[in-house]
Structure 1
């Protein structure tokens, strides 16, 4: 048996094997994608991962993340690395009283430090927990073709294609110093790092399939 934890009753959740927790963020994604883009992608990947694993359940998403680099844009709602790390630690401590294993599926790069720190601490405490990114070799930086394609597949009604426009298309190695010191707005006035041109739901479906495959592979060997 499996499903969404939020829809279950407590007797259905006794002695379950795996809880998959989507981790996203509420942050700007350019003029054409919604603030919950990372949440939508994390949930989409997590649900597909759970469907491929016998006895896996999907938890409600952790919707707030560490998004300080986007704070110059209205709507961005960040709780920071320290709070996110502590939240993930306490969440696992609670859920592990009734679930054998846990897997975080993360769709926002800014959450990396919190996730690695939380998982390292939890593994040291004896918990069976791992994390995996929603990533493939085709992922661009932010609100470009990759995320636009994924959203056209997962939630097309939320995409404003008529407002889509290219942002800063330089590679991360060139813009990273400015990103770290000044945030996204210093390198991209519209918040886009990439170019959404050519995005399609068909490409989004293929990307999601690759992400799910990658998570399933990583989860089997993941270490903190």
Structure 2
């Protein structure tokens, strides 16, 4: 298969005929959020990271396309901060299930060989897991991937700040805030009862001190390798 023009790696930039001609394609669907990320990172941080990983994997492998991102997620734990927009677990689950069904309608043929949800937000895990279970149970080739970074902090700390510095340094504010640095397990009770604001008034779960674009580049490369290795057919 001929490697498409870079813009054609985005599903939405193709015509229906181009999608059909390239079939069957591996479809990557980034899933993010619109939620606070401390005083220094943009609300769409999770979406940016998911899209960036998906785009770079598609750039490396023919026959892989990136769908428009699902930019709202389950972010109720951040609801006390300005700008957070959450659709909740149930609504997100429904959206993901219906997207999967639409990608693999009955009867065949399908334009897609498989679909992988590329997740950027931890709060989406329950909805993703449930949606994949439903879709796989219906016989549809759907899976989900999310970042796994050894030693990474939970939210808006050094890990995400480094990734954003690598992706778009101009989007990162000058602050390098320190938030709640206790292990996530020790914070879960308070998080469940009062959200992130109950444990970190600045919205940060971690410590952004020392974040750098160089570290972000290394983290991004590891995430790209991990997703690429997990794609169906690899």
Q: Report TM bin, short chain.
A: over 0.9
Runs of 4+ in 1 over 3 A off after TM superposition: 217-221
Per mean C-alpha deviation after superposition, the further-off stretch among 95-104 and 186-195 is 95-104
Q: Trace 1:20-35 onto structure 2 (pairs within 5 A).
A: 20-35=28-43
**SS in structure 2 of the partner of residue 199 of structure 1:** coil
1:103 equivalenced with 2:116 (yes/no): yes
Q: Hey, what's the Cα distance between the residues in 1 that align with 2:61 and 2:152?
A: 25
Q: Hey, what's the Cα distance between the residues in 2 that align with 1:186 and 1:74?
A: 15
Q: Give 2:210's aligned residue.
A: 198
Give the greater-gyration-radius structure (CA).
Answer: 2
Q: Hey, what's the Cα distance between the residues in 2 that align with 1:21 and 1:141?
A: 23
TM-score, length-scaled by structure 1: 0.94
1:11 equivalenced with 2:23 (yes/no): no
Runs of 5+ unmatched residues, structure 1: none
Q: Give 1:85's aligned residue.
A: 93
Superposed CA deviations along residues 147-204 of structure 1, whole A, max 9, x for unmatched, are 000000111111002x331111111111111111211000000000111111111111
Query: Of 173, 196, 199, which aligns to 1:184?
Result: 196
Q: Hey, what's the Cα distance between the residues in 1 that align with 2:34 and 2:82?
A: 11
Q: Hey, what's the Cα distance between the residues in 2 that align with 1:144 and 1:64?
A: 21
What is the Cα-based RMSD across aligned positions, in Å?
Answer: 1.4
User: What is the aligned length?
Assistant: 220
Instruction: Tell me if the contact between 2:114 and 2:232 (Cα under 8 Å) persists in the aligned partners.
Output: no
**SS in structure 1 of the partner of residue 144 of structure 2:** strand
TM-score, length-scaled by structure 2: 0.90
Q: Trace 1:146-165 onto structure 2 (pairs within 5 A).
A: 146-161=159-174, 163-165=175-177
Runs of 5+ unmatched residues, structure 2: 105-109
Instruction: Tell me if the contact between 1:136 and 1:214 (Cα under 8 Å) persists in the aligned partners.
Output: no
Q: Give 1:62's aligned residue.
A: 70
